């Protein structure tokens, strides 16, 4: 019989130490996994809505045209500032198909007067700050928090197939000065995405934000991107979609505004040609879309060769004085503003 080979001195100790190290590593991994689960961000709570007056405002309305010199305008966005003013941003473009003169413009409303707008960022300045070549910018979203104002927008790289990046600018003095554009960090699960024009950004109670993103312009689904107050990505989530997809009587882009209680206000085009713009009431609990009732026709315009869809891109916002503000694009080259009280919706008389 062959003798059993004798193991070198200390081998049993090494094997035992190895087992202990392996067990310790497994315990550490389990602890890390448990810690990761325990520190997942809680479900996001939306920030408190704008405080409204206790008195019922009488029926009234007024209409304005925003100043500006761009040949084409699109993608307006509204935000109610803490000081009571209304702020607006939109994308302005020059003549032809060249996007080199693209700019995101900013203006504020005070005492029924829109101030002269100025360019917050252009394609060139966004490219310069990011040290990257950009084909264009698009889809600005303005979001007011208690202590700051955020601007989010898409920036498109040179390749047609690349996903757009997301950029952020911040103001801590109600829009008087702004930070430079900063690109949202790219991660393995977030390679960019299109900001959803039909779903405005939402402010969270903890100072963070929810951004609705789509994989591509024609994508039927979207997801919410949750960010903290510093603009850092926390998670992708389906939470926050209280106004998620439901059957609507509109065509194309629309706007939804909660009015308190269970009531929603909807703005959008009633026909595929976007020749009429309407307002509807709806029940927030009605997920089947059977409660919508048309209450006002805001505007009408026949299609023309240079404006085949004359009334587009409606957005809604309520300010602290109780008024509701509707902004929309008229024939692709101007922004129309309608301000009204809730009582005006059911009062007699034609729309302005």
pLDDT at 54 (0 to 100): 77
Q: 88 and 187 in one domain? A: yes
Supply the pLDDT for residue 31. Answer: 38
Last residue of a domain, one of 242, 273, 298: 242
Residues 231 and 185 grouped into a single domain:
yes
Q: Which of 80, 35, 128, 129 is nearest to 257 (CA)?
A: 80
**Residue 230: inside a domain, yes or no?**
yes
Three-class SS string for 50-114?
A: CCCCCCCCCCCEEEEECCCCCCEEEEEEEEECCCCCEEEEEEEECCCCCCCCCEEEEEEECCCCE
In a domain, 127, yes or no: yes
| Contact predicate 139/126, CB 8 Å | no
What is the maximum span of the chain, computed from C-alpha positions, in angstroms? 112
The answer to whether residues 185 and 109 belong to one domain is yes
Is residue 28 one of the residues assigned to a domain? Answer: no
The answer to the question of residue 24 being in a domain is no
What is the number of structural domains in the chain? 2
pLDDT given for residue 333 in this prediction: 92
Q: Are residues 235 and 251 in the same domain?
A: no
Residue by residue, DSSP assigns 309-329 as S-EEEEEEEE-TTS-EEEEEE
pLDDT value for 129:
74
What is the extent of the structural domain holding 162?
Answer: 73-242
Residues 186 and 335 in one domain: no
Give the domain-ending residue among 242, 264, 280: 242
The CATH number linked to 181 is: 2.120.10.10
My answer on whether 87 and 201 are in the same domain is yes
DSSP three-state, residue 262:
coil
233 and 282 belong to one structural domain: no
Any domain includes 273: yes
pLDDT tens digits, one per residue of 20-35: 444 444 444 443 344 3
Q: Are residues 225 and 253 in the same domain?
A: no
How high is the pLDDT of residue 36? Answer: 39
Within a domain: 211 = yes
pLDDT at 191: 57
**pLDDT for the residue 134:** 86
- Pairing outcome for strands 61-65 and 311-318: unpaired
* Whether residue 205 is found in the same domain as residue 118: yes
Assess whether 233 and 253 both reside in one domain. no
Same domain for 123 and 207, yes or no, is yes
Contact 116, 110 (CB under 8 A): no
Place of tokens 């009280």: 341
Q: What is the pLDDT of residue 37?
A: 40
**Domain end (from 179, 211, 242):** 242
Q: Evaluate the CA torsion angle 248, 345, 333, 141 in order and state its sign.
A: negative
Q: Are strands 251-258 and 263-269 parallel, antiparallel or unpaired?
A: antiparallel
Instruction: Clarify whether residues 215 and 85 are in a common domain.
Output: yes
- Classify residue 58: in a domain, yes or no: no
Instruction: Map tokens 């996007």 to a residue.
Output: 99
Q: What is the mean pLDDT of each run of 10 residues along the chain (352 residues)?
A: 49 45 46 41 76 85 91 95 94 67 94 95 85 85 95 86 86 95 72 77 92 73 86 74 66 88 90 94 85 93 93 96 96 96 84 49
Residue 229 falls inside a structural domain: yes
């Amino acid at each position: 019989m062959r003798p059993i080979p004798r193991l070198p001195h200390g081998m049993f100790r090494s094997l035992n130490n190895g087992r202990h190290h392996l067990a310790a590593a497994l315990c550490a991994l389990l602890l890390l996994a448990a810690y990761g689960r325990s520190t997942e961000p809680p479900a996001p709570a939306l920030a408190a809505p704008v405080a409204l007056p206790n008195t019922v405002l009488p029926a009234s309305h007024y209409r304005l045209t925003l100043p500006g010199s761009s040949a084409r305008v699109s993608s307006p966005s509204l935000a109610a500032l803490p000081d009571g003013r209304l702020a607006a941003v939109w994308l302005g473009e020059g003549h032809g198909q060249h996007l080199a003169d693209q700019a995101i413009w900013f203006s504020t409303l005070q005492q029924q007067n829109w101030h002269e707008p100025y360019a917050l960022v252009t394609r060139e300045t966004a490219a310069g700050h990011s040290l990257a070549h950009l084909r264009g910018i698009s889809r600005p979203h303005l979001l007011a928090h208690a202590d700051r104002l955020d601007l989010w927008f898409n920036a498109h790289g040179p390749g047609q197939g690349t996903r757009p990046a997301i950029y952020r600018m911040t103001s801590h003095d109600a829009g008087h000065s702004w930070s430079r554009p900063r690109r949202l960090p790219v991660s393995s699960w977030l390679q960019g995405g299109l900001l959803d024009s039909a779903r405005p950004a939402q402010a969270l109670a903890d100072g963070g934000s929810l951004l609705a993103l789509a994989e591509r312009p024609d994508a039927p689904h979207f997801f919410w991107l949750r960010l903290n107050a510093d603009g850092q990505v926390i998670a992708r989530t389906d939470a926050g979609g209280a106004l998620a997809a439901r059957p609507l009587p509109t065509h194309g882009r629309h706007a939804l505004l909660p009015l308190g209680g269970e009531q929603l206000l909807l703005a959008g085009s009633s026909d595929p040609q976007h020749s009429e713009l309407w307002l509807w009431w709806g029940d927030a609990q009605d997920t089947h879309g059977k409660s919508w009732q048309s209450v006002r026709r805001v505007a009408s315009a026949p299609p023309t060769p240079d404006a085949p869809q004359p009334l587009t891109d409606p957005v809604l916002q309520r300010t602290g004085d109780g008024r509701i503000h509707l902004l929309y694009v008229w024939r692709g080259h101007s922004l129309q503003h309608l301000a009204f009280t809730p009582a005006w919706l059911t009062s007699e008389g034609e729309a302005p």
